[in-house]
Amino acid sequence: MGQTITEKIFSEHVGKEVYAGEIVRSPIDMVIGNDITTPISIKAFEDVGATKLANPDGFSIVLDHFIPAKDIASANQARISRDFAKKHKMKHFFDEKDMGIEHALLPEKGLVVPGDVIIGADSHTCTHGALGAFSTGMGSTDLAFAMVTGGNWFKVPESIKVVLRGKPGKYVTGKDIILELIRMIGVDGALYKALEFTGDTIAHLSMDDRFSMCNMAIEAGAKNGIVAYDEVTEAFLKDKPLARKPRIHYSDDDAKYVEIVEIDVASLELVIAYPFLPSNGHPISKAVEDKIKIDQAFIGSCTNGRLEDLKTAAEILKGKRVHEDVRLIVTPGTQRIFREAEKLGYIDAIIDAGGVVSNPTCGACLGGYMGILGDNEVAVSTTNRNFVGRMGSRSSKVYLANSAVAAKSALTGYISDPR
């Protein structure tokens, strides 16, 4: 019987053919922690008397949520991870000295590789499936178990095949595609399933687009999102010092899928997710008709803080000024992205237009810092969630969109079509 790419990855790791629904104990290639979740993992690790990481080269800690520290509590929280990293002489520890949002930084460093099994105590760990890996979020104690043993237990997920057809129109990105998919199937439409992205559209999507799509697989309840290795993946990895040799898998023609969803990307409008769910998607034409006034435009996060996002924003903003009633906040995903954007003139264009550029951080996305919304404020944001109170006050509202929409809206003061 044919296998999906997700089934093949697990089969290779456990040494036998396995299929959806089976419970397996699999070795893990990369465990990812951050400044919020890792201290809990460290405590569990130490509480069981563990003194040594099972796979030190397969464990990374990225301080990315409240770094540089926003207050005393976050400073003390970060210190727990710093002390642990120093004690265990961790090779892959990242803080202010080489910082970035974990799901942008690790692919950049070559630490997540096609064919890997990856876990992280962050729900958006599914981002790394864009590289043809199995990658999923788990709890902090699950991380601790992997720190101690080098592996963990998994239920091999069933797969939904997402067939994308046609060449995307102007400013239609991976963000629009995933918002449309979530609109179609709902926030629990892929519960504990793999979303496998296929179709001729894939060849037209950059790695940045693919990262965005897999990043938000969790917003449909998915266990993981995944895109098969191709020439685009190969080009992305070419200049990176890969931690392991890629193990490339493709789904068989007779692989079993529980559902097939098709999207005509060629005719897809830009998609805006209205409050208070990522599934509350509407075409940009409706948002323009609704005349949604904004107080803040945010471009960044692990979903859309990559170089293409900054390029798009800079092109739209260049030579113009942000609306007097709007705050534009831009957060590059990593320091490397920041520096490259600076060399290419994107940062100057953003700042000259009246935007502010922050250090790489998850802060604004989860309502932590660097862009918190006040009472009754409205934001258009390239982040991944728009739940009640997600970016600040419980009376605030967040509309999810791509970077082009956010940049154009910053200029007009209303959610606007950048085309």
> What does the alpha-carbon distance between residue 127 and residue 157 come to, in Å, rounded to a whole number?
17
Q: Give me the residue label for tokens 């993946």.
A: 233
The CA distances from residue 172 to 199, 308, 329, in Å, are: 16, 13, 22
The number of beta carbons lying within 10 Å of the beta carbon of residue 174 is 29
Would the pLDDT of 96 be above 90?
Answer: no
**pLDDT for the residue numbered 178:** 98
Assigned token pair, 27: 């070795």
Q: Which residues of 368-382 are buried (b: 16+ CB within 10 A; e: fewer)?
A: bbbbbbeeebbbbbb
Structural domains of the chain, with CATH = 7-153 (3.30.499.10), 157-240+252-268 (3.30.499.10), 271-412 (3.30.499.10)
pLDDT at 109: 96
Question: What is the distance between the alpha carbons of residues 299 and 319, in angstroms, rounded to a whole number?
Answer: 18
CB 108 within 8 A of CB 240: yes
* Over residues 309-317, mean pLDDT: 98
pLDDT band at 273 (very low <50, low <70, confident <90, very high): very high
- pLDDT tier at 1, thresholds 50, 70, 90: confident
Q: What is the pLDDT of residues 102-149, one digit of tens each?
A: 999 999 999 999 999 999 999 999 999 999 999 999 999 999 999 999
pLDDT at 361: 94
Exposure of 231 by Cβ count < 10 A (0-12 exposed, 13-18 middle, 19+ buried)? exposed
Q: Please tell me the predicted confidence (pLDDT) of residue 97.
A: 86
Beta strands 30-34 and 59-62: pairing type?
Answer: parallel
* pLDDT bucket at 394, cuts 50 / 70 / 90: very high
- Residue among 173, 38, 107 nearest 337 (CA): 107
- pTM exceeds 0.85, yes or no: yes
| 66-78: pLDDT as tens digits | 999 999 999 999 9
Sequence-ordered list of residues with C-beta below 8 angstroms from that of 377, at least 6 positions apart, any chain: 295, 296, 392, 393, 396, 397
* CA atoms within a 13 Å half-sphere pointing along the CA-CB vector of 294: 31
